[in-house]
Amino acid sequence: MNVLSIMDVQFEEHFGFNDEEVKALLAYYGIEEAYEDVKAWYDGYRFGNIRAYCPWDVISYADKRRSDPTLYPESYWINTSGNDIVRHLLENASAGTREEVERLIAGESVLKEIRNELTYRDIYDSEDNVWSVLFTTGYLTQNGRPDPRRRNLVRLVIPNEEIRSIFMTQIQDWMQAAVRKDAGELETSCAEALRQIEEKDYAARLRGEGMDTVLAYGFACYKKRCRTELKRMDNP
């Protein structure tokens, strides 16, 4: 069996609508004036050597727009498949990965090694696999052709405004919720550390050695995040 990825040029023209096909579709429905909005929101994917629109989005929007001339483009793609794997990977992303996501939202690109052969069994083996998953599931696309000598090293970008809106809402919400959860757990761990210091009454021992001021520090770490809390241990 021969498996072709979205980076291969064979059959590249069959993965999505091209520009002329979209113009013809909009003309058929009498909504040619929507072309610029459709292009900004649903174009931008790259398959092999060509750019393509997402067919589902274009058809869904055209179907609704012909009945509502004031309709602005909206997201249809996000509801076409499950996203549990993407959510799990991003909720557990490091601060460095979150910063790179912010760069993508700002319109920049990131250069990443893509594993087209990645299997479900291997997905969670490395945090770096998040980029392969985002690429193969359509959240990101390639910007230009990679160096043929290092074909799996791909410059990734957000393809269009529809996907950018998903990054700015849903994906950022996932990552921020994970950060808040971790922060709460770190705060609880710091409080527990301070409680143990009080319970063992280390301060009394230090005062007995002539210390006038005793400061206790609760320290907790999780992955690359740390939290420290300070408490003054006054005389009872």
More confident of the two residues 61 and 152: 61
Highest mean pLDDT among 66-70, 79-83, 214-218: 66-70
Q: Where are the alpha helices (DSSP H) in 137-171?
A: 161-166
Can you give the pLDDT at residue 15? Answer: 80
Count CB-CB contacts under 10 A for residue 190: 20
Q: What is the three-class DSSP state of 46?
A: strand
* Tens of pLDDT, residues 30-42: 999 999 999 999 9
| Average pLDDT of every residue of the chain | 80
Evaluate whether 52 touches 15 at the Cβ level (below 8 Å).
yes
- Averaged over 183-197, what is the pLDDT? 63
**pTM (2 d.p.):** 0.71
Domain spans of the chain? 1-80, 82-159, 182-232
Question: What is the pLDDT confidence band of residue 148, given thresholds at 50, 70 and 90?
Answer: confident
Can you give the pLDDT at residue 182? Answer: 58
